[in-house]
Amino acid sequence: MAENKTKLNDGMYVIGGLFIAISVLMFASPNMPSMENDWVTLPLIGLPILGSLLLMGFASAVPAWRKESISETIKYASLGIALIVLIITTLMMTDILMNVHWANITFNQYMYEVEYNWINSIGAEWHVGIDGLSMPMVWLTALLVPITIITTWNEKKPWYYHPLLILMGGCLIGVFVSLDFFMFYVFWELTLVPMFFLILNWGGKERKYAAQKFFIYTFTASILMLLGIITLYLLQDPSTANASITGRTFDMHDMIQNAQEQVILGNIWLGPGVQKLLFVLFMAGFLVKLPVVPFHTWLPDAHVQAPTGGSMLLAGVMLKMGAYGMFRIPISMFPYALVEFQMPLMIIGMISLFYGAWVCLGQTNLKRMVAYSSVSHMGIILLGIASLQPLGFAGAIFMMFAHGLISPMLFGVAGAFKHHYHTLEIGSMRGMAKHSPWLAGNMMFSWMGSLGLPLLAGFVAEVAVLIALWFEFGWWVIIPGITLAITAAYYLWSMQRTIFEGGENTELPKSLGDEKPRDIALSENIGLISLAILIVIFGIFPFIFFEMMSGYSSELIKQMLMDDIMRRW
């Protein structure tokens, strides 16, 4: 035990050192500008990251025997920071702060955009901004962090756990607002660190294996992406950016603009071969993150071993980083390659969707089943992209958001089940509705949400993608159709064997021993029910976000992809 604790502390110092280094880099920059009107850098990224580092540093300074006494303070402080971020992003989303109409902004135009010099010599900048694609993701992240904190209020070692969650949130927001490849990559990799520690320190029995597998998979994938970034960087004309020594820039905004100018001129930007190569490199990184079959096996392992809060954020936001990245980089920059690779993308999507659902049917572990259902649902995102229709794109983006609400609830429920019944085996018990009515209710709700029940968020995305799919591929739509039925089958079957049945004297799992089964705690219930309410709200009123997603997709296709799609017809 003692050994573990020292290890943990070492880990914390490593993270702390890393972040302090970055912060110093950031703030000690000689051209430090004023940060007026910057609603992103400090409030959304700096506050959670610095806040969590402070909290963890404080906690590590407190001697071990006194840590219990500060745990409440740290929990509330973390929750407070998370809520501040949530409030700011909500103000951004509801157009109050700067009177933004999210649905009307055009392609490659960003709100709340700020740019600071960072590493001038190589042309890397601190460049952030939000558009119709990233706004939902930023809001989702800001929303999930406090909900995760509340749901897993009673986790062990809260003095490191809860600050790690907000650290995670800060890094994720960093990914979603980055408009500079260098910064994007830094945050992309930084998100791995808190997740790695969450799995390693709060995980299950096989946590070391799972954490390593998770790290190696995603890291390898992002190395490919890094290769792509470097290639793209070097391909630039060395007189692009005067400020940097290399004469090149990492600025995403400028590069996309560059690409767009070429598209307007009717050229294939960078040439067909190079575009395809870059597309493949970037997609490789994102597809593993998404993940798709056959690179998905890290996901079930990571989820099963991860603590509840870790899986909630992992499934809720981290998987969406892959989809977000696809939209932000390969789709926005390599239109020719996207149209060329339409068919492979569709087939990969179909395989993920269909195969994932079948594998779910054969699972005996609740969390594994839910993890594979994530794989299956991520296939829908790929199908939406492959449809090359504004509706398909919007459906895919809405799927990112809807699944970002539903999957945390799924994992929250699975985690609560593990917490109260000490097992994850489906069929190890019968009649949960009698012992834990709230848990059973939440489980049923989230299961229904995931199988695409109308008036819940997932349905909107599925319908949108399927309509778009018919446009493009016609009768291929049968496969998602069958998958919908299989999805219903595995969810209903698993409910039959946990919530229902059991007769007058219900069966309890062996793992429970002599313990009496309990219902979930109030904090868990608040977290899960708030997710449920959001799922219903976005199921009934999808236009809150669908409008901006639809606007973004239309602009993207109109300005970037139209010519290449037309050429194919």
Partner 1 sequence: MGSEISVEFWVATIPFVPLLTFPIILFLGQYFNGKDWWKNILKEGGSISLMSMGIVLILTSMVVAQFIGEMHNGQGLDIIDWITFDVLRSDGMTNGVNLGFGIYIDHISLMLLFVASFLCFLINWFSIGYMNTDKINDNRNHRFYAEFLIFCSGMLGMVLADNFLWLFIFWEIMGLCSYLLIGFYYEKPSAAAAAKKAFLTTRVGDVFLMIGLIIMWNIYGSLEFDIIFGWDYFTNPVDMTLLKTSLILMFIGAVGKSAQFPLHVWLPDAMEGPTPVSALIHAATMVNAGLYLVARMFPIFIGTAGDGLVGELADVAIIIAIIGGITAFMAAGIAFVQNDIKKVLAYSTMSQLAYIFTGLGAALWFASKGKPELALFALGASLFHLFNHAMAKGMLFMASGSVIHEMHHAHHHISHGEHEGFDAQDMTNMGGLASKLPITSTAMAAGSMSIIGIPLIGGFWSKEGIIAKIWKAAIYDGGYLLFIPAILLLISAGMTGFYMSRMWFMTFAGKPKTKVAEHVHEETPWIKFPLVILTFMTLGGIVFASLHFVSWVSEGHAFHYDLIHEMKHAFLAMDKEGVIDSTFLILTWATIGLSSIIGPIIAMSLYGGNLKDGENAIPTVSWLVKLSGMVKNRWEFDNSTLANSGLAEALRRRLYFDDFYDWICIKLIVPIGIGAALFDKKGVDGVIKGIESGSQSASTWIRKLTTGSARDYIMMVALGSLIFVGLIWGMV
Rule CB under 8 A: say whether 355 interacts with partner 1.
Answer: yes
* CB closer to partner 1, 58 vs 471: 471
Nearer to partner 1, 219 or 471 (CB): 471
- DSSP H/E element including 320: helix 319-326
Stretch near partner 1 under the rule CB under 8 A, chosen from 6-14, 186-194, 263-271, 471-479: 471-479
- Return the number of the residue (162 or 289) whose C-beta is nearest partner 1: 289
Regarding 104 and contact with partner 1 (CB under 8 A), the answer is no
Q: Give SS3 for 515.
A: coil
Residue among 149, 394, 406, 528 that touches partner 1 (CB under 8 A): 394
Which secondary structure element, helix H or strand E, spans residue 121, and what is its range? Answer: none
Cα–Cα distance for residue pair 486/477, rounded to 1 Å: 15
Among 5-13, 284-292, 410-418, 499-507, which window interacts with partner 1 (CB under 8 A)?
499-507
What stretches of 106-206 show up as alpha helix (H) in DSSP? 134-151, 158-177, 181-190, 192-202
Rounded to whole angstroms, how far apart are CA atoms 472 and 464? 13
Q: Is 94 in the site for partner 1 (CB under 8 A)?
A: no
Q: What are phi and psi of 111, to 5 degrees?
A: -95, 165
Q: What are phi and psi of 268, to 5 degrees?
A: -90, 115
| Contact (Cβ atoms closer than 8 angstroms) between residue 86 and residue 142 | yes
Nearest distance in Å: CB 91, partner 1: 24
Backbone angles phi, psi at 113, to 5 degrees: -85, 130
> Among 345, 360, 413, 531, which residue sits at the site for partner 1 (rule: CB under 8 A)?
360
| 471 binding partner 1? (CB under 8 A) | yes
Question: Binding to partner 1 by residue 481, rule CB under 8 A?
Answer: yes
Stretch that binds partner 1, among 76-84, 90-98, 127-135, 539-547 (CB under 8 A): 539-547
For the bound state, the minimum distance from the C-beta of residue 327 to partner 1, rounded and expressed in Å, comes to: 16
Q: Which helix (H) or strand (E) holds 486?
A: helix 478-496
Q: Are strands 124-130 and 111-119 parallel, antiparallel or unpaired?
A: antiparallel
- C-alpha span between 241 and 239 (Å, rounded): 6
Instruction: Give how far Cα 37 sits from Cα of 41, 43, 111, 156, 175, Å.
Output: 10, 11, 11, 39, 20
Residue 542 touching partner 1 (CB under 8 A): yes
Q: Say if residue 291 is preceded by a cis peptide, omega within 30 of 0.
A: yes
> Residue from 230, 492, 512, 526 that binds partner 1 (CB under 8 A)?
492
Q: How far is the CB of 436 from partner 1 (least distance, A)?
A: 13
Look at residue 242 and give its three-state secondary structure. coil
* Whole-number Å distance between alpha carbons of 331 and 263: 13
The CA radius of gyration of the chain, in Å to the nearest whole number, is 23
Position 339 contacts partner 1 (CB under 8 A): no
Q: Please check whether residue 404 is in contact with residue 144, taking contact to mean a CB–CB distance below 8 angstroms.
A: yes
Asked if 347 is part of the footprint of partner 1 (rule: CB under 8 A), the reply reads no
Residues 22-61, interacting with partner 1 (CB under 8 A): none
Answer for which of 477, 512, 521, 537 binds partner 1 (CB under 8 A) is: 477
The yes or no reply on residue 454 touching partner 1 (CB under 8 A) is yes
Footprint of partner 1 on residues 205-224 (CB under 8 A)?
none
> Quick check: 363 binds partner 1 (CB under 8 A)?
yes
Closest distance to partner 1 from the beta carbon of 221 (Å): 13
Q: Which of residues 409-448 bind partner 1 (CB under 8 A)?
A: 431, 433-434, 437, 448
Residue pair 394/385 in contact by the 8 Å Cβ criterion: no
Among 18, 362, 510, 515, binds partner 1 (CB under 8 A): 362
Of residues 282 through 301, those in contact with partner 1 by CB under 8 A are 293-294, 296-297
| C-beta closer to partner 1: residue 58 or 476 | 476
Q: Cβ atoms within 10 A of the Cβ of 541, count?
A: 12
Total residues contacting partner 1 by CB under 8 A comes to 67
Could you tell me which residues are beta bridge partners of residue 536? none
Contact status: 389 vs partner 1 (CB under 8 A): yes
Q: Which is nearer to partner 1, 253 or 435 (CB)?
A: 435
CA 16 to each of CA 47, 51, 52: distance values in angstroms, whole numbers, following the listed order: 15, 11, 9
Q: Calculate the CA 366 to chain-centre distance.
A: 21
Residue numbers of the site for partner 1 (CB under 8 A)?
A: 293-294, 296-297, 355, 358-363, 372, 388-391, 394, 431, 433-434, 437, 448, 453-455, 459-460, 463-464, 466-467, 470-471, 477-478, 481-482, 484-486, 488-490, 492-493, 495-496, 499-504, 506, 542-543, 546-547, 550, 553-554, 557-558, 562, 565-566, 569
